[in-house]
Structure 1
Amino acid sequence: MKDLVRQKLGINVEVMDLLNEQVAMEAHSSAIYLAMASWCDRNALNCSAKFFYEQAEEEREHMMKIFRFINDNGGMAYSPEIPSVSHDFDSLEGIFEMSLEQEIGVTKSIHNIVARCRKVNDFGTENFLQWFVKEQMEEEQTMRNALDLFDLMGTDGIALKLIDERIPGISE
């Protein structure tokens, strides 16, 4: 009976499993951004701290969007376990480099799920994921914009404070 129920899902079973993995990835990203925000707070980088607190909340929203989609389509979303996250960072530039790497990883994961949707003809989930495809393009660009500031201004002395003050505008 259990297999029969899984066959009647609105989403493909393989895709549902990938989506549950994505839920866990988004939750982990949220936790990492919280750790980054905390580091920025401790280092008097107030604008960057605010930015990363907002990023943490945004990743949680992404997680919940996918979580609800799974359940709304007859699947079973699983509450993710979040592995421990490091709170030790060397620099603000290093944090943004790590953020870009993380966003690239999320992008690859989303693209992988879209590819699986196409392979198994799960058109509804593919359509749902198009929002995430666009969102990831924006997220990566935001992190690149921040890294451009370090390339332009350096990291010595007052440059770090000036970069921190420009962080609120990097997504524009």
Structure 2
Amino acid sequence: MISLKISELLNKQVNAEFYASNVYLQMCAWAEDQGLEGAADFFRTHSLEEREHMDKIFNYMAECGAPVTIEAIPKAPREYSHLMDVIEAAFEHEKHVTAMIKNIAKTAFESEDYTTFNFIEWFIAEQHEEEVLFGKVLGRAEMLDFTGEKGQKLMIMDNYLKQLAAEH
């Protein structure tokens, strides 16, 4: 049995992952509207991945007999100026999720809930991968001196995102 505090943090994370899935799906829709097939694939892949994360935490809570409450999910942002705006927003969102995951790990460890700590370690590694991935995307943009404008650099970035989506 997990403590009420851990249960509350995990429940917040379930809802945060659900929101993240919606954020990435909205980013996918934005990219589709812009004709950016690669970016659309990249963000759709991330949307599905976040949904898997939600399911993983949901299942863990169910196994532990912890109640899950799905809250109303806030509307995801849908207006972006350009692709770099979307990429930077996604990276900031990943850093926020990382902070939430680290807080669960810290709380679980401090309360000697080593089962939850062990469970959440997978998410710590996952968030590290996500931050590294977005760092690579931002590094590629910097290498190209891409700031979001239309043209050849946008197509190169879109193709790069398509490649990353296919690798994931």
Shared fold (TM-score, shorter chain, > 0.5):
yes
Contact 2:42 2:164 in 1 (8 A): no
Structure 1 counterpart of 2:65: 74
Matched length: 163
Looking at structure 2, the residues matched to 123 and 115 of structure 1 have their Cα atoms a distance apart, in angstroms, of 11
Residue of structure 1 in register with 2:126 after alignment: 135
* Identity over aligned pairs, percent: 33
Q: CA deviation at 1:168?
A: 3.4
**Aligned equivalent of 1:114:** 105
**1:45-67 CA-partner distances (Å, limit 9, x unpaired):** 10110110110111011011101
In 1, the alpha carbon distance for the partners of 2:97 and 2:21 equals: 12
Deviates more, 1:161-170 or 1:93-102: 161-170
TM-score normalised by the chain length of structure 2:
0.93
The match for 1:36 among 15, 20, 27 is 27
Whole-angstrom distance in 1 between the partners of 2:3 and 2:68: 13
Take 1:158 and 1:89, find their aligned partners in 2: how far apart are those partners?
Answer: 20
- Residue 61 of structure 1 pairs with residue 52 of structure 2: yes
Amino acid at match of 1:65: K
Specify the alignment match of 2:157 in structure 1. 163
| Partner secondary structure for residue 120 of structure 2 | helix
Q: Is the alpha carbon distance of 1:102 and 1:94 closer, same or farther for their aligned partners in structure 2, counting shifts above 3 Å?
A: same
Which has the larger Rg?
1
Q: Is the 8 A contact 1:11 1:73 kept in 2?
A: yes
**What are structure 1's unaligned runs of at least 5 residues?**
1-9
| TM-fit CA distance, 1:80 | 2.9
Query: Structure 1 runs of 4+ off > 4 angstroms?
Result: none
RMSD: 1.3
What is the aligned partner in structure 2 of residue 11 from structure 1?
2
- 1:107 CA drift (Å): 0.4
Match of 1:96 in 2: 87
Give the structure 1 partner of residue 42 of structure 2.
51
Distance of 1:151 and 1:117 partners within structure 2: 38
Q: Is the 8 A contact 1:37 1:53 kept in 2?
A: yes
3-state SS of 1:104 partner: helix
Whether contact under 8 Å (1:27, 1:80) holds in the other structure is no
So what's the TM-score if we normalise by structure 1? 0.90
